[in-house]
Structure 1
Amino acid sequence: MPRPTVHDLRANRGKHQYAMLRVETLVEAEAAAKAGVEMFSVPPAMVFDRRFREVAPDAFIFPGENYFEIGGTEDFLRWAMPLMKHGADAVYCSGSLRTVRELADHGIPVCGHVGLIPSKATWTGGFKAVGKTLGLAQHVWTQCKALEDAGAFAVEIEVVPHAITQAIAEKTDLFLISMGAGPAGHAQYLFTDDVLGQNRGRVPRHAKVYADFAAEEDRLQALRIEAMGRFAIEVHEGLYPAPQHLVDSQTEVVEAFRDWLDQNA
């Protein structure tokens, strides 16, 4: 499929569910692209790596960092412009509505964040679902409406009851990226660490583990230790390097070099 545009995402709302992953490395990006994942969240540095588009030419990408890593509105603009120049399709912004508005005014597609926003979770009661009470459901809607009015085209809607997401989807033109917010989102978003079973900590309820990379990494680590241990033993016992690992020189060259050293060293 060709690389989606913002227009495509909007046109396909309710017609096609997009798959989205947070990828952290080029290896993950290449795997996700070959697997048919259409949308990526990526570290900003990846956008500037020319190899990224070689391995994932058709991915719609959102570079993103927390607002406190970037700064205020002018800082966001300085951050976003080079990213767009180097091939970003949109930017993630958890900053102020003013920042969203300024980015949108410059023609930069912006994705906001509603529901459980980890960097702002203290306002909604910590790391838990947001929207289980009428007041918090209204809060999520108010966030969506404010972001839409500010010019955002999409929001990540995180850990919101699926029926609340469904109701919001019926009343907004935003492209909803669901992370644990149900199938009414227009894209389903997970972290690669969870999908691959690399996360050794708590796996969120909404995440699904499809592989066990942690066990594989344990196996590889045991192989590393065993191989490195044999190397250390052979070094200590004088078994490495053996003759086959050495570079030889002609005897007359060595003798001539030794004579030269005796006279010049």
Structure 2
Amino acid sequence: MNEHVAVLRSLREVWAAKAEGRPISMLTAYDAGFAQQAVQAGVDFLLVGDSLGMVVQGGRDTLGVTIEDMVYHTRLVRRGAPTSLVMADMPFLSDTSPDAAFVHAGALMRAGADIVKIEGGAAKADLIASLTEAGIPVCAHIGLLPQRVRQLGGYRVQGRSEEDAARILTDARALVDAGAAMLLIECVPSGLAERITRQASVPVIGIGAGQGVDGQVLVLQDVLGMNPNPPRFVRDFLRGRGSIVEALAAYVSAVQSRQFPAEHESYA
């Protein structure tokens, strides 16, 4: 265990961390073994991401991941990290109707998730309100939406124009007002992410969103230098270190001290 970090154990503690200005560390995990390594390193929050479609299954994007895949991997991560906070992605087309969303979110919660993550903007507000009312905490994912990558024509930074920035700000407000317990912002200019974080009453986690958010998340394989063509917001924490636990602990330390991401790892 990283002795310098008091790991967060509940969503209430995550909300308190925002209020206290204490940075939150999040990392993807897809199996029990790596979940155990993350626990030893002091990672606050584990994300069972649909990114497993690319880094585990070898797909070109996340769209091939099924709810059965997500339930299976969530169960594995929960076995490896029995007391850790675990977030699980709602995969592509798993929330197209309220009935489907309830069934699939419930399956992820029963598999061990503490909170589910849903991609989408203000159009998801009513769905998030319904899930929240039913006792299912939701993290709303805004900015770059990987499940829409084919529609977007690639993985591109969002919110650079005034119009796009205003849309993402509107999304954030609507989703928080609907009851979202957290926000995750992906690939937006750092100034926009900071503005959203200041306005949001809930914790905001960033990936490719600069330093002005409440916490950071990265894909495990990226942290370990396994991506041959990493995006600019990725840092290889394994380089120069002797073990995976050391690398993950270095990531936690860099997030906690706000040394990650650096300016060159963010978007202007």
Q: Choose which of 188, 208, 211 in structure 1 pairs with 2:235.
A: 208
Q: TM-score, normalised by structure 2?
A: 0.71
Contact 1:176-1:186 within 8 A present in 2 as well: yes
Query: Does the residue aligned with 2:119 lie in a helix, a strand or coil?
Result: coil
1:136-195 Cα offsets, whole Å, 9 max, x none, are: 111110110111122111111001111111112111112111001012211100001111
Which residue of structure 2 lines up, in the alignment, with residue 149 of structure 1? 177
- One-letter identity of the residue aligned with 2:133: D
Contact 1:3 1:57 in 2 (8 A): no
Q: Output the CA distance in 2 between the equivalents of 1:65 and 1:44.
A: 10
CA 87–100 in structure 1, closer or farther in 2 if over 3 Å, else same: same
The whole-number CA distance in structure 2 between the counterparts of 1:161 and 1:124 is 17
Aligned match for 2:191, one of 149, 158, 163: 163
Distance of 1:164 and 1:2 partners within structure 2: 28
Do residues 6 (structure 1) and 5 (structure 2) align? no
Counterpart of 1:46 (choices 73, 82, 91) is 73
Give 1:70 shift. 5.3
Task: Give the whole-Å Cα distance in 1 for the aligned partners of 2:110 and 2:8.
Answer: 16
Aligned residues: 209
Residue 115 of structure 1 deviates from its aligned partner by: 0.8
> Contact 1:44–1:64 at 8 Å: present in 2 too?
no
Kindly indicate whether the alpha-carbon contact (under 8 Å) linking 1:2 and 1:58 is maintained by their aligned counterparts in 2. Answer: no
Deviations 1:123-145 (A, max 9, x none): 76742211222111111101101
Distance 1:123 1:140, change over 3 A: farther
CA distance in 1, matches of 2:79, 2:91: 27
Separation (CA, whole Å) in 2 of partners of 1:69 and 1:169: 28
The higher relative CO (CA closer than 8 Å, separation ≥ 6) is in 2
Residue ranges of structure 1 left out of the alignment (5+ in a row): 213-265
Task: Compute the displacement of 1:121 (Å).
Answer: 4.5
**Which residues of 2 match residues 49-198 of structure 1 at below 5 A?**
49=76, 52-69=77-94, 71-94=96-119, 96-121=124-149, 126-198=154-226
Change (3 A) 1:3 1:10: closer
Structure 1 range deviating more: 12-21 or 110-119 = 12-21
Q: Distance in 2 between matches of 1:41 and 1:173?
A: 21
- Could you tell me which amino acid in structure 2 is paired with residue 6 of structure 1? L
Give the counterpart letter for 1:57 in structure 2. P
**2:264: which partner in 1?**
none
One-letter amino acid matched to 1:82: A
Equivalence for 1:23: 29
Instruction: Indicate if the aligned counterparts of 1:38 and 1:58 stay in contact, CA closer than 8 A.
Output: no
AA aligned opposite 1:41: L
Structure with the largest fraction of helix: 1
Contact 1:155–1:176, Cα closer than 8 Å, also in 2: yes
- Looking at structure 2, the residues matched to 211 and 12 of structure 1 have their Cα atoms a distance apart, in angstroms, of 27
Greater mean deviation of Cα atoms: 127-136 or 32-41: 127-136
- Percent identical among aligned pairs is 28
Deviation readout 1:181-218 (Å, 9 max, x if unpaired)? 01221110000111112223x21111111236xxxxxx
Shift of 1:32: 0.8
Contact 1:21 1:191 in 2 (8 A): yes
The question of whether the paired residues in 2 share the 8 Å contact of 1:67 and 1:93 is answered with no
